[in-house]
Amino acid sequence: MSNLAVITGASRGIGNATAQLFVEFGYAVVNISRTPASLDGVTNINADMSEPGWLEGVSDELIAQLDGADEIALVHNAGMMVLDRVGDMIAEQLRRMFEVNVVASCALNDLLIPLMKEGSSIVYVGSTLSEKSVPGVASYATSKHAVIGLMRSTCQDLVGAGIHTACVCPGLTDTDMLRGSAGNDPDVIANMARMQTFNRLVEPEEIAAAILSVVGQPVFNGAVLHANLGQISH
């Protein structure tokens, strides 16, 4: 049996850790991102998912990679984040974020679902901010709420297809994106770590393991799984 994982944004962070783990478990892996993933066993397809129509330029290349795959794990990981507030949101910036965080997933679903056999899976990577918000992340939280809506619709619309889906929602994870949002300030990052009950950031490899678990367990179909080490309530 040949298993294939299509992972968006696998060049770094959670996506890179996920690609590496899937390779270790015998999957052929296809990464779709602007920059390549420097991992053995990964085929890279270059695309800028913030640009409408990006899939048209790579669809033939992507479909060719699916040949012979018995089960496909489609992992919608690519994400974009900016810091903004309601009343000060830039419309074009919001559109670009939705293109990456939501619309790209819809486009890939449309292309790949007809080619996915029973036993395949679709995993969305959301965020703790998929079900709440904090000040200063209005566009990001809005788009990540939409990710859960898309996952739940995927679950309902694929009834009987034998394809399961779930949304893994990482907490504060030690990635370039998180460190960049903190201005790479060690004090800010340490304060983020203290917001979780284990007094540390989540490691990308921990989220990768959660994604792999979802792929192997149809019982998670339709679930929202928070992977955040337990966040401290205030």
CA distance 15 to 176: 12
**CA gap 164, 71 in Å, rounded:** 11
Predicted local distance difference test score (pLDDT) of residue 23 = 97
Strands 71-76, 223-227: parallel, antiparallel or unpaired by DSSP? unpaired
Percentage of the residues of the chain whose pLDDT score is greater than 70: 99
Dump pLDDT digits (tens) for 46-71.
Answer: 999 999 999 999 999 999 999 999 99
H-type alpha helices, the chain? 13-24, 59-65, 91-98, 104-112, 138-157, 176-181, 186-193, 204-215
- The model's confidence at residue 193, banded by pLDDT at 50, 70 and 90, is confident
DSSP state of 228: S
Average pLDDT of the segment spanning 95-114:
97
For the segment(s) 3-172+203-227, the CATH number from 3.40.50.720, 3.40.50.1820, 3.40.50.740, 3.90.1300.10 is: 3.40.50.720
44: closest CA among 4, 3, 2, 7?
7
Residue boundaries of the structural domains of the chain:
3-172+203-227
Q: Would you say how long the chain is, in residues?
A: 234
pLDDT of residue 196: 87
- C-alpha distances (whole Å) from 220 to each of 132, 140, 166 are 21, 25, 6
> Is pLDDT at 234 greater than 70 in this prediction?
no
Mean per-residue pLDDT over the chain, rounded? 94
CA 133, CA 160: separation in Å to the nearest integer? Answer: 34
CA-derived radius of gyration, the chain: 17
Q: What percent of the chain has pLDDT over 90?
A: 82
The answer to whether the pTM exceeds 0.85 is yes
Structure token pair of residue 65: 């990679």
